[in-house]
Amino acid sequence: MKLAPPIAMRQAQPTDFAASNVVEARPRRVPPADAPVRLAAPSILARDPLQPDMLSNADLLQGRSAVDAVALERGGMVDWSRTRSRISEEFRLVQRQILRTAFGPGSDPGFSNLLMVTSARPGEGKSFTSVNLAGSIARQGDHHVLLVDADSKRDSFCYSLGLAESRGLLDLVANPKLDPAPLIVKTPIERLSILPVGRERERSAELFSTKEMTRLIQSLGRRYADRLLILDAPPCLSTSDPAVLAPVVGQILFVVEADRTQRDEVEASLDLIQACQTITMVLNKQQISSRYTFGAYSSYYSS
């Protein structure tokens, strides 16, 4: 497994996570039991002009245009028109690491472009991170993004987007004869599309444990090898789904909530998903009060 090391780090207590920039990954070293936890990646504070989608692949053009800007905002997407806000700058730091692994030198097309986003427990901001990372990368314009809802819980982001009753991932697993392309939903953001979780939520535990699920994820990765696939998965300590998906994705983004997630929860989660060799950690909801931080020059750039 590879974890991204920090650029700069302050001394941390066992449950006090320091935030910093994401840089190149390195092999994971398990610290002693009394050692502080050090997490690499920028902090993302909190949940806090779009055009029709025109994708290059003809099969993606078959998707339904069913999500508008209001629905995306309801689903947790921030206002990306403020190009120099602190949160937009921090997401750009995260996406550089992700895109370098997905499409950079040495990447494995059809595998490295599969990114799973998860956390240790519910409420840490993994769906918020998934939605806004997808929006940030798509708006940048260099890569298309397919955001996949792989969380069958009742309040997954697809519910906020009005896609709760749309067919999607679980339906494709239940019926391998279905073509994924007509189930993909276009959004008002150019280069961003969504695959809903689907209607077969009552069978999610059964379907996630099948070989058909891993075959489908691998197939989607190869079929859309020119774009980043972001899988918003459940928390590691809530279901076995992330452990099932870990071996078939090229990288994992692990979201940790500052001042809440315990060190033993992080380590237990990492043990469950260690089949994935590249894991990047993001510290979420870290409160930093300083004018010398991202967004401090926002008025300067907009003047």
Question: Domains in the chain, please, with CATH?
Answer: 2-9+38-47+57-287 (3.40.50.300)
Is pLDDT at 44 greater than 60 in this prediction? no
Q: What is the mean pLDDT of residues 100-120?
A: 96
Q: What is the pLDDT of residues 130-146, one digit of tens each?
A: 999 999 999 887 899 99
**Dist CA 3 CA 20 (whole Å):** 13
- Mean pLDDT of all residues belonging to the chain: 78
Name the pLDDT band for 219 (thresholds 50, 70, 90): very high
Q: What is the pLDDT of residue 48?
A: 32
% of the chain with per-residue pLDDT over 70: 71
In this prediction, residue 1 has a pLDDT band, given cuts at 50, 70 and 90, of low
CA–CA dist 168, 66 (Å, integer): 14
Query: How deeply is 295 buried, as exposed, middle or buried, from its count of CB atoms within 10 A (0-12, 13-18, 19+)?
Result: middle
Whether the per-residue pLDDT at 277 is higher than 70: the answer is: yes
User: How many degrees, rounded to 5, is the angle at CA 185 between CA 79 and CA 69?
Assistant: 25
What mean pLDDT comes out for the span 12-26? 33
For residues 15-34, average pLDDT? 37
Residue 250 pLDDT class (50, 70, 90 cuts): very high
Q: Which residues contact 96 (CB under 8 A, 6 or more apart)?
A: 22
- Find all residues with CB under 8 Å of 31, minimum gap 6, and list them: 37
pLDDT at 220: 97
Q: State the pLDDT at residue 2.
A: 62
The letter for the amino acid at 121 is R
Mind listing the pLDDT tens digit for each residue in 59-105?
444 444 478 888 898 888 887 666 667 788 888 889 999 999 999 99
Sign of CA dihedral 161, 165, 171, 177: negative
Q: What is the mean pLDDT of residues 174-189?
A: 94
Give residue 269's Cα distance to chain centre. 16
pLDDT of 78 reads 83
> Which pLDDT score, from 0 to 100, does residue 3 have?
64
Q: Is the dihedral angle over the CA atoms 222, 224, 226, 227 positive or is it negative?
A: negative
